[in-house]
Structures are given as structure tokens and as C-alpha cells.
Amino acid sequence: MTSERPRSATIKDVARVAQVSMTTVSHALSAKRPVNAETAERIQAAIDALGYVPHSAARTLQAGKTFMLGLVVPDVSDPFFGRLAVAVERAADENDYGVVLSSSNGAPARDARYFNLLRSRSIDGLIYVAGSLRRDNQLAELARSFPIVLADEWVEGLDGIPLIASDNREGGRLVGAHLRDLGHTSAAVLAGPSGLRSAEERVAGFREVFPDAEVLAGDFSEATAFARTAELVARRHPSPTAIFASNDLAAFGVLDALAAAGLAVPTDVSVVGFDDVALARRIAPALTTVRQAVDEIGRQATQTLLELVAGDAPSAVPPCPVELVVRASTAPPPSPSSPSPSGKARL
């Protein structure tokens, strides 16, 4: 007498027991379409009674994978990081993976929660975007055993980990060359967080063209950029005729501070940003800025991580190219003898 292996429950069985269509069961499982609470309860009761394992869960058990990736960014409300997250999610979805997103906001405890997901294998790999120079020994330890890719920013102690980032130094050089070609001879640069490699490279590239440029300490925020620009306007005479902000959010703070001081952009002062977030082309004047290929950074970071998850050696990825986008916030410097349209003393 032979014993037959019990047949596994199917989605059709769940639909029959719950007295709904298979489409409704599918919607309840995927959460892609709303299902009313009473129906959802009946479906869950049928799943529990039948011991039904959804196809995605069965695939996870069979492959020993969760088909989920983690993504940690400094601040998802920042337009650049928000767009990067969308790019990662799109690339992951194309490979049948989901993404768990964390906005760390510089809190080590938040990072630690995602490191624990990696340790417990609740996610298959992690894309990490650093927001500060802070060395994380936990991350360095995990990188020796688990698939981790750095995106946008280098992290101290993780030199052997794949890094997908822009050519930040070239971006700074492009800004300097543009302002020089317009005729500017004096410029200031508003730096990003101290010790952050991307910020340092942007400043270094700019100072290849403007070696005497004054470097103002910044942190990529509008508030700090406003304060530093206001200080510059108040104390330095003559002041530079151009300001390069190391990201677009900071550039918006520069624009606000100049407007508050009664100075016109670009007639009195030219302003350049870095990132090319959506708002850069919508403000007045539209912002000249360096465009990062953020979609490509997200795609390459995801693809590299999936190669690591599969046990393959990751493909070498050169720095992603950048492009200067010239808009209305830059112009030739004012003539020293010409009055400012605002009636204020020129910088």
C-alpha cells in the first residue's frame, strides 16, 4: 500500500473556503488593491485553516532568501535621497525584489535595527547611504559576512566594499570652469559636512579653478547655508561675485539669504548648486547646478547588490558622470562701477 503525499493548498482552495474570487485573494495577499475588513478576515481564516503558503513565501523557503533588500538613507525628505530610493525600488522590483527603507537621520539606533535585519537574514542585502563621516564598526563587521553596497558616499573602514557614486570632483571643476568662463575672478564655496568625502571632492574640484576661494563650513542644510551667507554678506567687503553651494538645498538657503540682504541673483551674485533636484528648475531664478545621474546610481547599486546576493563577484563600476546644467542663476560679474539694481552696495 502506497501513501500519497498530501496535496498543498492552493489559492483556489482559499478562495473556495472564503467564498470569494481568486482575484480577491490575490489582492488581499499583495495589498495592491483594497479589500474590506470582513472579507480580509475570512481570507485570513481560510489561509490559517488550510495551511496555505503563498507562492512568494514558498519561493523564499525553497531558495533560502527573503527577496527583500534594505536601503538606509540619511533623510528621505531630502529630494535627492527620495529620488534615489525610488530608483532603488524600481530596479529591485524589476528583479522581483522588495525594498525596506530606513531614514536614519543620523541616529545610530536606527541603523542598528537594519543591521539586525541583515544578521537575522530578514533581508538579503543592504544598500547604505552615509550622511556623516561617523565610522560604524558594526557596519564594517557586517560587511565581512553579508552583501553590502555603499551608494553616493564612501564610509571610513569600508574601502573594499563596492561604492556607486558620482564623479564629485569633476562636478566641482565644471562649476569652477563655468564661473571662470563667465568672467568671475572671486568666488566662495559653501562646503558640505566636514570630512564627508563627496563634499570634500566637490570643494577640491572647484578650488582647482579657484584656488583662493573662501570655503564656508556647511552641512547641506538650507538653514546653515542661509546663516553662512548672511555672515559673508555682513563681514566681507569686497565679497565674491559668485557662490557655489555643495548641494541644491544649501543653494536655496544661499538664494534666500541674498534676497534678504537686498542682493539680486544673478545681477549682483551668481549662485550654483549641486544635485539638480526637481525644484532647481522651478524656482526664480532657475538654479544653475550639477546634475547627478541619481537614477543610474540607484540602478547600479541595486544591480551590484544583487550580484553579491547571488554569490557573484560584483562588476566594477566607474564613477557616474555628472553634467553642468546652466540656468538663470549665473551671469557675468557686475561691473565695479555699475550700481546694483537693488540700490544696495554690491558684494
Report the CATH number at residue 250: 3.40.50.2300
Q: What's the farthest any 2 CA atoms get from each other in the chain?
A: 106
Q: Which residues, at least 6 apart from 161, have a Cβ–Cβ distance to it below 8 Å?
A: 143, 148, 149, 150, 155
Phi, psi angles (nearest 5°) of residue 152 = 75, -35
> Are residues 303 and 196 both part of a single domain?
no
> Are residues 185 and 158 both part of a single domain?
no
Residue ranges, the chain, pLDDT below 70: 1-7, 30-33, 53-64, 106-110, 133-136, 337-347
Note whether residue 345 is domain-resident: no
C-alpha cell belonging to residue 249: 538645498
Distance CA 298, CA 240 (A): 36
Note whether residue 177 is domain-resident: yes
**Helix axis angle, 248-260 to 79-94, nearest 10°:** 160
Number of domains in the chain: 3
**pLDDT tens by residue, 75-91:** 888 889 999 999 999 99
Note whether residue 342 is domain-resident: no
> Are residues 76 and 150 both part of a single domain?
yes
Give the pLDDT score at 32. Answer: 56
Phi, psi angles (nearest 5°) of residue 215 = -100, 120
C-alpha cell belonging to residue 50: 488550510
Q: Which residues, at least 6 apart from 250, have a Cβ–Cβ distance to it below 8 Å?
A: 190, 192, 218, 220, 221, 222, 224, 225, 273
> Are residues 178 and 288 both part of a single domain?
yes
Give the pLDDT score at 327. Answer: 98
Give the pLDDT score at 107. Answer: 65
> Are residues 273 and 192 both part of a single domain?
yes
Note whether residue 108 is domain-resident: yes
Query: Could you identify the residue written with the cell 546653515?
Result: 224
pTM of the model: 0.77
**pLDDT tens by residue, 49-70:** 887 766 555 555 455 678 899 9
Note whether residue 184 is domain-resident: yes
Note whether residue 4 is domain-resident: no
Q: Which domain holds residue 55?
A: 11-62
How many C-beta atoms lie closer than 10 Å to residue 310's C-beta?
Answer: 12
> Are residues 141 and 222 both part of a single domain?
no
Note whether residue 74 is domain-resident: yes
How many C-beta atoms lie closer than 10 Å to residue 219's C-beta?
Answer: 20
Helices (H) and strands (E) in the chain, counts: 12, 11
CA pseudo-torsion sign 319, 325, 329, 330: positive
